[in-house]
Structure 1
Amino acid sequence: MQRFFTQSLKWRAFAMFLFLAGLVFSTPAADFKVGLVLDRGGKDDKSFNSSAYEGANQAKKKLGIFLKYVEATDDNAFEPLLRAFAQRDFDLIIGIGFAQKEAIKKVAAQFPQKHFAIIDAEVDAPNVRSLVFEEHEGAYLIGAIAAMTSKSGKIGFVGGMDIPLIRRFSMAYEAGAKKINPQINVLANFVGVTSEAWNNPPKGKELAVSQYDAGIDIIFAAAGASGLGVFDAAEEKKKFAIGVDANQNWTKPGLILTSMLKRVDEAVASTIEESKAGHFTGGIKRFGLANKGIDYSVDQYNEKILPESVRKRADDIKAEIIAGKIVVPDFYKKK
């Protein structure tokens, strides 16, 4: 086991070396250069990282920027990857995920002339833009939709890593459900307590199967790539699941009731566009229901399973949240 672990570390170090060497030999000198550091879920998680990657590529197609991305093998990789981009004179460096907060803070201080952005964390530095989302607003809305659709009066939640961010989802999801049905039962489970929890579909499926077997008929998955396991369980048990971050309705047509949209793609694309135009500003930029940074999805894959009456009630609740008539509980502000 120790030998395997040592070899694994060597392979990771070698992969890091190849990436850094690639920056040295393949980076153009003239283009506006954007470096994108994804977390462990990777660009194919069909969720959080995929959305960020899509937004960066939208900017690439529109603006003709040079884009380089890398998927961090573990949390220790963030700092050297961010620093490598800065050393190779990239104009904008974007870290995807709260786990990069300390690395961004440190590297941004070392390269004050470079611009950085981070998703889901606040870094107080003049050369860092913090892109944060009002996830609780969307989760509340999703909870209401789940409660309106459930036949059993039991709904579930599968979160990725057990951290305040995901507790924020869970708390608001339950509150939204109880707005519709005060007696509804809500069961929440989490995949794990380390960053590996974002990329463990088998564990996600195991938790979901257990919930479905307990009588739950709808599960909201906020678990990164682990959520794909929840969707597999929904297919196996012929029950509903709800996606998150990106529009995941297409992954299991007719079984994904809706997806809570967290427009990471637009946050990334707009930051790149503003930066290339010379309008980069540091500070915090928030995205919620009011500016459509948060929403729920309706398309050809779920329009037949999400009744018009449910959508209308959901839109009414959305309007009430935006108007301040409904105050959504926020785990971040829990006393």
Structure 2
Amino acid sequence: MEATVKKMRKAAAGGLGLIVMATVLAACGDAPDESGDSGSEASDFLPCIVSDAGGFDDKSFNQLSYEGVEQAAKELGSEFKAVESNSENDYAPNLDSLVAEGCDAIVTVGFALAAATKESATANPDIDYVLIDDSADGGDDGQTFDGKADVANIKPLLYDTAQAAFMAGYLAADYTKTGVVGTYGGQPYPTVTIFMDGFKQGVEYYAKEKKKDVKVVGWDGKNGSFTGGFEANETATNTARQLLDQDVDVILPVGGPIYQGALTAIEASGKDVAMIGADADVFETDPNTQDVVITSILKNMKVSTYEAIMAAGNDEFDFTPYVGTLENDGVGIAPFHNFESKVSPTVAAELDDIKAGIIDGSIKVTSYLAP
């Protein structure tokens, strides 16, 4: 019955979709990108994705999510549609445009799209929605989480990045020569501060275990340094510079492209500063980081998005929220890459022990997903 309803809706959308797209997208985000030449038997299942304002070339979570949809569409033998948002004003119109195009499953990337996703999902109960980085539960800030989305046809993809950030914090504390490490974020949303929380806890754990004095600046657990957005602009550079001026020699920017401000500040400082990436392995996604990035805190969004779309395309979709952890490889840290010879020869083994301790519960890491 559900499949029949979707086909009827898609047939209707075929006549209206182009008209709606022409009017709506002229005023909002970019027109849908269509792809999906897989060489396999064609499927009439249509997966779609809409970015937040960071765009699909953010070398971070929008890009990873896009790649997950792209891979699933290829394997399913279907086309897919992707629409970029240029600002928050684009979110609702872009979702409306994808509904009009006849999408069977829509991925919305980022907590900023939570309100628009809930509204669209409520109005279109026959479409499967995948909301990345927000629980769709008890508010649009992602802070309330009881294991079930407020709207029945939304599947949240969440990531307890505090666990991986704890490991990165431990590494930073071991690596620092000044005894001062720092972090800053785009905006103080839970999906940003969860990195900062874990990072701080990892530094403090190291200091306690090793009986060394290591200071964290930029986040005290409640307040910290934020750029006010997620753009690679002068504010991001100045925020990073303010941390470097406090003798920081390991820095963690959290918020998509804002890490580029840290790159600029590091180069201008002339200091030996290591950077920690967030979401993706920025060493791989952005070669400009390769001289300074010691590791990255990973959210395996490509795989979890791929798996969600594959399930939807095979009529096996489950709306139970997914929470990525160290145990299920939903989060992790990247290799040391060019810093392999610069880090302590014992720290890799120590991080393996810490990972095991976090998984078995002997090392506690708190976050909004694991109070």
Q: TM-score, normalised by structure 1?
A: 0.87
> Partners of 1:324 and 1:139 in 2: how far apart?
16
Identity level (%): 28
Q: Which residue of 2 aligns with 1:156?
A: 182
Kept in 1, the 8 Å contact 2:236–2:258? The answer is: yes
Matches within 5 A, 1:58-137: 58-123=71-136, 124=149, 125-137=151-163
Alignment of 1:225-244 (within 5 A): 225-236=257-268, 237=270, 238-244=272-278
Q: Is the 8 A contact 1:171 1:331 kept in 2?
A: no
Q: Which runs of 5+ in 1 are unaligned?
A: 1-11, 24-28
Tell me the residue number matched to 1:187.
Answer: 217
Residue pair 2:198, 2:365 contacting (<8 A) in 1 also: yes
Indicate conservation of the 8 Å contact 2:227/2:239, yes or no: no
8 Å CA contact 2:48, 2:69 repeated in 1: no
Aligned residue for 2:57?
44
CA RMSD between the two structures? 2.3
Residue in structure 2 matched with residue 8 of structure 1 by the alignment: none
In structure 1, what is the equivalent of residue 18 of structure 2? none
1:33-70 per-residue CA deviation (whole Å, 9 max, x = no partner) reads 11111111111111121211222222233333212111
Q: Comparing both structures, which one devotes a greater share of its residues to strand?
A: 1
Letter in 2 for 1:44: D
Displacement of 1:31 in angstroms is 3.0
Structure 2 distance, partners of 1:150, 1:131, is: 34
The 5-angstrom pairing of residues 302-313 of structure 1 reads 302-313=339-350
Per the TM alignment, residue 220 of structure 1 is displaced from its structure 2 partner at its CA by 0.8
Residues 1:255 and 2:292 are matched in the alignment: yes
Structure 1 residue 333: Cα displacement = 6.7
Task: Tell me the residue number matched to 2:28.
Answer: 16
| Residue 175 (structure 1) shift | 1.1
Shift of residue 271, structure 1, vs aligned partner? 0.8
Distance 1:185 1:331, change over 3 A: farther
Map 1:28-43 to 2 at 5 A. Answer: 31-43=44-56
Question: Residue in 2 aligned with 1:171?
Answer: 197
* Superposed CA offset, 1:132-151 (max 9, x none): 11021111111111101111
CA deviation digits over 1:150-175, x for unaligned, max 9?
A: 11110000211122332222222111
* Cα distance per residue 1:279-303 (max 9 Å; x no partner): 1111311111010010000164443
Q: Cα–Cα, structure 1 residues 17 and 119, in superposed 2: closer, same or farther, change >3 Å?
A: closer
Inter-partner Cα distance in structure 2 for 1:266 and 1:244: 16
Aligned residues: 314
**Residue segments in structure 2 that go unaligned for 5+ positions in a row:** 1-23, 35-41, 137-148, 219-223
Aligned residue number for residue 26 of structure 1? none
Does the aligned pair in 1 maintain the 2:55–2:84 contact within 8 Å? yes
How far off its partner does 1:234 sit?
Answer: 2.8
Instruction: Tell me how far apart the structure 1 counterparts of residues 349 and 134 of structure 2 sit (CA, whole Å).
Output: 33
SS state at 1:161 partner: coil
Q: CA–CA distance in 1 between the matches of 2:29 and 2:368?
A: 40
Contact persistence 2:43–2:78 (CA under 8 A): no
1:158 counterpart SS class: strand
Name the SS of the counterpart of 2:366 in structure 1.
coil
Contact 1:246–1:261, Cα closer than 8 Å, also in 2: yes
Which residue pairs with 1:5 in the alignment? none
Q: Partners in 2 of 1:110 and 1:329 — Cα distance?
A: 36
**Pairwise CA distance, 1:208:** 1.5
Change in CA separation of 1:305 and 1:173 when aligned onto 2, cut-off 3 Å? same
Structure 1 pair 14–87 and aligned structure 2 pair: CA distance change class (3 A): closer
